[in-house]
Amino acid sequence: MFMNLRALTIALVVLWLAGCETTTFTSTWKDPNTPTLDPVGKKVAAVFVSRDEAKRRAGETLLANDISRHGAEGVPAYSLVPDALRGDGEKARAALKEAGATAAVVMRVVGKDQQVNYTPGTTMPAYYGGFGPYWGYGWGAAYSPGYITTDTIVSVETLIYSLTQDKLLWASTSRTTNPGNLDQLVTEVADATAQEMARQGMLPKK
């Protein structure tokens, strides 16, 4: 019974760790001449760079929704820029400006790695004085083997441009561990980016 309970506990811990999602920044940059940005009421284009059109549209919709949650009017770029202009940056910027967008948030997955983690096994001490005491303690001393978990780490580049000035305002590279799906990845990176920008004075602190 003890072993079954212990095995179940270990399994639950492994599942919990696998489900944990964390985003950390490996690098950030902000334009030193840009004051705190006020996104409220501004139209901001959401750009998710992907060769997979379905993922691109899903990513831009998710990113636009998250931008809107932070006070701006997020709009998916696919709804503003014709596909024919995808390779022409100047015409794409002109189309976004014509649609009323003053800024663009660009998100692109730049890497995906696997990280293997090993947790060593443990042995609890047993009492050998008599059979009765040993019976109770002995089962608790049974060796619990180590286990291996594999984490998926996704690296994302996030850029924020002023379309009116044609100027980069913010750039970052982040690493997210075990994102369950595209929704979780985009939302977590966008939220972490907003928090980091607020911490560095680029966005108002809530």
Span 108-136, average pLDDT: 70
pLDDT digits (tens, 9 = 90+) for 160-204: 999 999 999 999 999 999 998 999 999 999 999 999 999 999 998
Span 51-72, average pLDDT: 94
Span 6-18, average pLDDT: 39
Of 22-36, 37-51, 113-127, the poorest mean pLDDT is in 113-127
Q: What percent of the chain has pLDDT over 90?
A: 62
pLDDT at 135 exceeding the cut of 70: no
Of 69-78, 97-106, 127-136, 163-172, the poorest mean pLDDT is in 127-136
- pTM of this structure: 0.75
Do the beta carbons of residue 157 and residue 110 sit within 8 Å?
yes
pLDDT at 27 exceeding the cut of 60: yes
pLDDT at 4 exceeding the cut of 60: no
pLDDT at 25: 96
Span 60-88, average pLDDT: 91
| 143: Cβ contacts below 8 Å, ≥ 6 apart | 121, 122, 123
- The mean pLDDT value of the chain amounts to 82
- Residue predicted with more confidence, 22 or 157: 157
Q: What percent of the chain has pLDDT over 70?
A: 78
As separate numbers, helices (DSSP H) first and strands (DSSP E) second, the chain gives 5, 6
Across the strands, what pairs with 111?
155
- Look at the block and give the residue holding tokens 């692109």: 108
Vertex 43: Cα angle to 90 and 83 (nearest 5): 40
pLDDT at 133: 61
* Domain 2-199 class in CATH: alpha beta
